[in-house]
Chains A and B, each alone.
Chain A
Amino acid sequence: MQSLDIISVNLWQIVISLVNLLLLFLILKKFLFKPVKKVLEQRQSQLDAQYASADRAEALADEHRKEWEEKLSTANAEADAILQSAAENAKYRGEKLIAEAQDRADGIIRAAQTEAELERKKAADGIKREIVEVSGALTEKMLEREINTEDHRALIDSFIEEIGDGNE
């Protein structure tokens, strides 16, 4: 079996070696880099999708939070309004009650006044009559005789009338 010289150049061997390297390049490209890169890309896209969905979820949560905060603030305002209206209502009713009470008290006072007036008048009338009777009896005693009661009464009446008028 022979051997090549230690330095020997052979065109065909060079070509074969070149083709070998090209072949290995194609093999590595097709069977190593392509599948691995495909998997890497898939992983990347999956990762991207997950990130996107996480972002979406976050945005949704944010939206919800904002909504709730808004609702909460409006609820506060509503509660305030309700409280205010309740307070106003209470105030109004209280005032109304007070006014009614005042009215009624005024009425009572007026009624009492009129009654008192009536009583006073009644009492004055009573006194007049007493005076008439007393003066009649006095006059009878003074004159010591029976006088025409009718005449006297008229006389005294007019007299008392004058007195009463002067008193008033």
Chain B
Amino acid sequence: MRSKSRRLTAVDILLIILMILPFAIGILLKVLTAPPSEGISITGARVYFTIPMPIQDLPITEAQVNSVLVLISIFALCLFMTRGLKVKADSKRQHAVEWIVEKVEGLVKDSMGDYFAGFAPFIAAIIALSALSSLSSLLGLYPPTSDLNVVAGWAVLVFALITYYKFKCGPLGYLKGLAEPVAFLTPMNIISEVATPVSMAFRHYGNVLSGTVVAALVAAGLQGLSAMVFGWLPGALGDFPFLQIGIPAVLSIYFDVFSGCLQAYIFAMLTMMYVSGGFPAEDYEKRKEKKQARKNKQNNIHKENLEVN
């Protein structure tokens, strides 16, 4: 029977559980530690406990925990998707995972060039982590992307990559790039260098957080409106926020689903653009050729010496 290969094995089920379990743990943690409701409160991530560290104490927050949970979930998803890969693909799972891999590689190659083909897993990681983090708010979890620290970490990594590829042509080339097009613009260039990760981090964080804030405000507003409109109803019926049914869901589609995915995509696109755009590909090629030529020359001289001897 062919269906045998399609049936879920025990390991598959275990992996699916491992995919869902992190989110369940997150929800459980949130419910267990939820403070009594006190109207509108727009705060940052909840702090579970604080670890004393040098320079600055490290508070373990909801955002940190949730992002690790997302990480574990993606890991389980990976293992689940790549289970039972065959040369002759016969499962939907394999088609899906191949489609994903090929799409990401195509995207990376299209927008960064063949030299950066190795960036595909990194871009996939950014998209997956960012999108799933933002979407975790659908489950009522605190989305890690609405914590500035989380997004700032990614932005710092991207900044490091941008600078690394700019340095590929040597520190002199990098410094010369800062003084272009005219020397007195150098301070501006330095600011724009630093502004890149800052703007990336704030853009992502701000978009997701604004969604949360707007959703909280709308919910509170609707509660008030509901009390005004239906307040004359007797008893508990009068206190029930009828207007809170449905309308927040529509907003959630935009702020959580659409905005979350869009911000993930934007962050990935900006990463690709900045890294490949900052890399002086032509200069690098020339430098490489020069190096190669010098090496060849040296080799030739060496050979000649050998022959003479």
Contacts and interface: CB of A to CB of B under 8 A. Distances in A.
A4 B42 CA distance: 10
Contacts of A31: 75, 78-79, 82
Interface stretch (B16-24, B66-74, B181-189, B256-264): B66-74
B68 A14 contact: no
A25 B130 CA distance: 13
A10 B153 CA distance: 10
B56 A10 contact: yes
B157 interface: yes
Main secondary structure of the interface of A (DSSP, over half): helix
Contacts of A8: 44, 148-149
Contact of A36 (B71, B82, B148): B82
B162 to A, nearest CB: 14
Contacts of A42: 87
Contacts of B131: none
Contact of B71 (A11, A20, A38): A20
B101 A37 contact: yes
A15, A25, A38 — most chain B CB neighbours (10 Å): A25
A39 B64 contact: no
Contacts of B199: none
Interface of B: 33, 35, 42-48, 53, 55-56, 58-59, 61, 63-64, 67-68, 71, 74-75, 78-79, 81-82, 85-89, 94, 97-98, 100-102, 120-122, 124-126, 128-129, 147-154, 156-157, 209
Contacts of B154: 17-18, 21
A31 B71 CA distance: 13
A24 B125 contact: yes
B43 A29 contact: no
A25 B25 CA distance: 24
Given A5-B43, A18-B156, A46-B87, A32 B55 contact: no
A13 B150 contact: yes
Given A3-B46, A10-B149, A11-B55, A39 B120 contact: no
Main secondary structure of the interface of B (DSSP, over half): helix
B147 A4 contact: yes
Contacts of A40: 98, 101-102
A2 B47 contact: yes
Contacts of B124: 28, 32-33
Contacts of B33: 1
B58 A21 contact: no
Interface of A: 1-25, 27-29, 31-33, 35-40, 42-43, 46
Contacts of A20: 67-68, 71, 129, 150, 153
10 contacts: A12-B53, A13-B150, A14-B156, A17-B151, A24-B128, A27-B75, A32-B97, A36-B85, A42-B87, A43-B88
A35 B128 CA distance: 18
B148 A7 contact: yes
Given A13-B150, A17-B150, 16 more contacts: A3-B47, A5-B43, A10-B149, A12-B53, A13-B64, A14-B149, A16-B64, A17-B67, A17-B149, A18-B154, A24-B128, A25-B121, A27-B125, A31-B79, A39-B98, A43-B87
B74 A24 contact: yes
A111 B97 CA distance: 113
Contacts of A29: 121
A24 B129 contact: yes
Contacts of B148: 7-9
Q: Which 6 A-B pairs have the closest CB atoms?
A: A17-B153, A4-B44, A13-B149, A3-B43, A18-B153, A29-B121
A10 B44 CA distance: 13
Contacts of B46: 1-4
A104 B21 CA distance: 122
Contact of A11 (B56, B64, B87, B125): B56
B87 A6 contact: no
A83 B201 CA distance: 96
Contacts of A43: 87-89
B129 A21 contact: yes
A8 B74 CA distance: 27
A7 B198 CA distance: 13
